[in-house]
Structure 1
Amino acid sequence: MKKIILFVGLMAALSFQVKAQQGLKEGDKAPLFNGVDQNGKTVSLKNALKTHRSVVLFFYRGQWCPYCNKHIKELQDSLGLLTGKDAYVIGVTPETKENIDKTIKKTNAGFSIVQDKDDAIMKAYNVNFVMDEATFTKYKGYGINLEDNNGNTRHTLPVPATYIIDRSGKIKYVHFDPNYQKRASVKVLLSKL
């Protein structure tokens, strides 16, 4: 129990670091990107928008984050409802392929999850932030090593944000909240599709 309380405290401290990030806004043109998903398939936002009415794009921190796993599981559990509205779901994370596989094992995610190896997608959507050294050290003390999880030393994470992008490439819904506990509900996503 003590470990959980300390973890929640650490996550709260981290949420204060990201208040400067703004994310993109409704009506903005969504930056195009390409990436490779967990199955080795090239995922292109441009191509997804050509073949689907919309894309649900979300950013998550890693397999170590229980709130991320809960959100991914909810998306997976409602995937039929989302795809029934001709939406294509894409997750973006800085974590390595091996850790994406752990996320999938924990959540049974069946949609595309793309590793943002160089943080380019997070930067394009203005959801990236760098964890300070003190917080990184505290996380590491609790068994969360971003360097191992992400395969680099940048200590970059995304604000957990969700965007719905319409066929024209415009962002028509944004959930952006530095509070790591708050995520876009499937009910809201379905109402915006």
Structure 2
Amino acid sequence: MKTLFVLTCTLLFSFTLLAQQQAQGGLKVGEVAPEFTGTDLSGNPLSLKNLTKEGPVVLIFYRGAWCPYCNKYMSQLQESLPQFTEKGARVIAITPETMESAEKAVEKTSATFTVITDSERKIMKDYKVLYTVPENVLGALEGYGINLTESNGKNDNVLPVPATYVIGKDGKVKFVHYDENYKQRASVEEIIANL
């Protein structure tokens, strides 16, 4: 049991280091948020331009249904959804996963906010959160039963740094939480304070 725990900690630490070395660096407060269009899990089209007409957008990037930290964070956001709604904000989650995998994340977290699968990786690239997982780490992940090709539907082996952005009605970034350590996420209090 101790050996499994040590291996898990080593793998998680490796992921953090790799993200630091390979991630794009994220957007900065004050930048104009890149426009994107997407389709939610129900097939409804949406765009950032139309969303920000209604109010601020809380945009999060998550790695996948296989990630316990992402699932915990999505559950926290779901529990706090009334606070976001009260501020007129809409929560949008972006993932590299397939629709089927994203639906598993929704089931695990009971999320009722919008989830978009970024199958072309354009949103992750534009928001500067994309990185490629090296082969040796992929092997370690597969040892834990995590298959990114299966989860993401492509063999490009990419993940996002799990960043959070608040985008105002003016289309500008008002808040950024970008940390290569996937265990560190923006608190609900920080997000609410920046809406």
Shorter-chain TM range is: over 0.9
2:122 paired residue number: 120
| AA matched with 2:48 | L
Partner SS for 1:19: helix
Q: Which residue of 2 aligns with 1:11?
A: 12
User: Where does 1:1-150 land on structure 2 (aligned, <5 Å)?
Assistant: 1=1, 2-20=3-21, 21-52=24-55, 54-150=56-152
Q: Which runs of 5+ in 1 are unaligned?
A: none
Task: Give me the whole-angstrom Cα distance separating, in 2, the residues matched to 1:74 and 1:112.
Answer: 15
For residues 87 and 5 of structure 2, the distance between their equivalents in structure 1, rounded to whole angstroms, comes to 38
In structure 2, C-alpha distance between the alignment counterparts of 1:51 and 1:192, rounded to whole Å: 17
Separation of aligned partners in 1, 2:46 and 2:10? 36
Ranges of 4+ aligned residues in structure 1 off by more than 4 Å: none
Deviations 1:16-62 (A, max 9, x none): 1121431000001100001111111112111100112x000000000
For 2:176, what is the secondary structure of its paired residue?
A: strand
Aligned to 1:171: 173
- Distance in 2, matches of 1:94 and 1:122, equals 8
> Where in structure 2 are the equivalents of 1:145-156 lying within 5 Å?
145-156=147-158
Q: CA RMSD in A?
A: 1.0
Distance 2:111 2:10 in 1: 28
Range 10-19 or range 97-106, more displaced: 10-19
**Partners of 1:78 and 1:7 in 2: CA distance:** 30
| Structure 1 CA distance for aligned equivalents of residues 161 and 59 of structure 2 | 13
SS of residue paired to 1:113 = strand
What amino acid does structure 1 have at the position aligned with 2:77? L
Q: Which deviates further from its counterpart, 6-15 or 29-38?
A: 6-15
Shift of 1:3: 3.7
Taking only the aligned residue pairs, the percentage that are identical comes to 46
Aligned partner of residue 184 in structure 1, secondary structure = coil
Worse-superposed segment, 32-41 or 69-78: 32-41
What's the counterpart of residue 182 of structure 1?
184
> Which amino acid counterpart does residue 150 of structure 1 have in structure 2?
N
SS of alignment partner, residue 159 of structure 2: strand
Q: CA deviation at 1:9?
A: 2.1
Q: Distance in 1 between matches of 2:189 and 2:178?
A: 16
Cα distance, 1:6 vs. partner? 2.4
Q: Deviations over 1:158-188 (max 9, x none)?
A: 0000000001110010000000100001011
Aligned length: 192
User: SS at 2:145's partner residue?
Assistant: coil
